[in-house]
Every structure is written in C-alpha cells, then in structure tokens.
Amino acid sequence: MGKISVNRQHLNRLLADSADGHGVPYQQAFAELAAEYRGRPPHEILPALKDAADRALLGFSWSDLREQAEAISTGRPYTLRVTVTGR
C-alpha cells in the first residue's frame, strides 16, 4: 500500500472525478496504464507511471511507483492511502 500527502487545493490532480481542467488526473492515468500494461514487467511500466505522476505534479517515491508497477504487472489491486493537508 502506498501513501501520499496531497494539499486540499491539489486533490484534483489525483482524482478522476475532478471537474478541474488540470490535465489527466492520476487516478484516470493509472487506470489507463493498468489496462495497457497489465502482464508486462514492472521495469517497462515504471517510466510511464513516473511520467503520469510528473504530469499530475504528484510526488510519489520510487518505492511507491515500483509497488504500483508491480500491481499493474500482476493485475492485483493497488491501495493508496491519501492524506489531505491544508485548507
């Protein structure tokens, strides 16, 4: 399970149901990558995940990105614990 802290003002960068026009939220990008890369080795998935996280301006650690890549590779669910900070 991964963990990330997101400022309340930037929660739209994470959630797919956001009405904000800030690119593709990470949740949506993750789902698309999962559909495209399922079954492929994690090392092939990592660069795409890193790019998606960078586009969403989210600071995932390499450890979290590796866990996400392994989950996509194996098709198992990935749980992300989100702490919302700020006002």
The pLDDT score that the predictor gives to residue 23 is 58
The pLDDT score that the predictor gives to residue 22 is 54
Q: Which residues, in sequence order, are bridge partners of residue 13?
A: none
Task: Give the mean model confidence (pLDDT) for residues 74-85.
Answer: 86
**pLDDT exceeds 80 at position 11:** no
Q: Which residue has better confidence, 38 or 60?
A: 38
The pLDDT score that the predictor gives to residue 87 is 63
Q: Residues 48, 80: contact at Cβ < 8 Å?
A: no
Q: How many residues does the chain have?
A: 87
pTM for this entry: 0.79
